[in-house]
Amino acid sequence: MRWLDPQKLVKQFLRGDYDLEQINFYTTDINALYPGDKSPARQREYYKALMTIDGINIIKGRFSKNPTSMPAYPITCIQNADGTTSIKKLNVLKTEEKRSDVNIAAHLVRDACLNQFDMAVLVSNDSDLLEPLRITHSLGRKFLILSPFEKYCYDFVSEFSAQCMRKIQENHIIAAQFPDEIRDVTNTLIAKRPAKWS
């Protein structure tokens, strides 16, 4: 979903009686994984594009990268010299986005309790958000789950009506791209799609 305009995406799923008033974009600043890694620069360019949307809040978590040892796949057993058996492991660099799920959950429940929306739109398929969605539902607040995956999260399907869920298809993504170049009223370049994302 690179170079995606979230406003254009969500508007494709809203009925005419809803206006999109605010977008909370949950992310984290990524770190370079190797010398010359251009990923952080591409992300900064994307931030510039996002900031051209009225009413957007970029809410950042934390990027974690830790070397760790994990089982190789497929699982391979090793016979040790002392007669014991162990699993072959590989050293990997594990990267994770921290806090974003908690931020989404906390803000959704807060805004539901304060009656801050007529309907919330959640772009996610993460079962960790089941409980905050349950709370939102119990408060009588409407929500729409937009899944970026082929299959809906099982917990969502078993808990909520199909009317609360939609799948994001390729045609939705294509229709929701920022222009390759974003310019202001004076024709000054604000943001440009990174070449790798073309």
Last residue of a domain, one of 79, 96, 113: 96
Give phi and psi for 22, each to the nearest 5. -150, 145
| Structural domain boundaries enclosing 28 | 6-61+99-197
C-alpha 9/C-alpha 168 separation (Å) is 9
Helix (H) or strand (E) holding 170: helix 170-175
Q: Please indicate, yes or no, if residue 157 is contained in any of the structural domains.
A: yes
47 and 122 share one domain: yes
Instruction: Tell me how many domains the chain contains.
Output: 2
10 and 91 share one domain: no
Cβ contacts of residue 172 below 8 Å, gap of 6+? 9, 12, 13
175 and 82 share one domain: no
C-alpha dist (Å) from residue 54 to 22, 51, 58, 93, 153: 8, 8, 12, 37, 31
Helical H runs in 86-144?
A: 100-113, 130-138
Give the pLDDT score at 63.
81
pTM of the complete model: 0.86
76 and 56 share one domain: no
189 and 105 share one domain: yes
Question: What count of Cα atoms within 13 Å lies in the side-chain half-sphere of residue 66?
Answer: 8
29 in Cβ contact with 61 (< 8 Å): no
Cβ contacts of residue 101 below 8 Å, gap of 6+? 126, 128, 129
91 and 181 share one domain: no
Number of neighbouring beta carbons within 10 Å of residue 3: 20
Tokens of 28: 């984290």
Give the pLDDT score at 65.
83
Give the pLDDT score at 17.
80
Give the pLDDT score at 64.
84
36 and 122 share one domain: yes
- Residue 194: which of 182, 15, 157 has the closest Cα? 182
Q: Please indicate, yes or no, if residue 1 is contained in any of the structural domains.
A: no
pLDDT averaged per 10 residues in sequence order, the chain, 198 residues: 93 90 95 93 97 96 88 92 92 86 96 96 95 96 95 94 94 97 96 95
88 and 125 share one domain: no
Give the pLDDT score at 66.
86
56 and 77 share one domain: no
184 and 130 share one domain: yes
C-alpha 61/C-alpha 44 separation (Å) is 15
116 and 29 share one domain: yes
Last residue of a domain, one of 96, 116, 143: 96
Give the pLDDT score at 29.
94
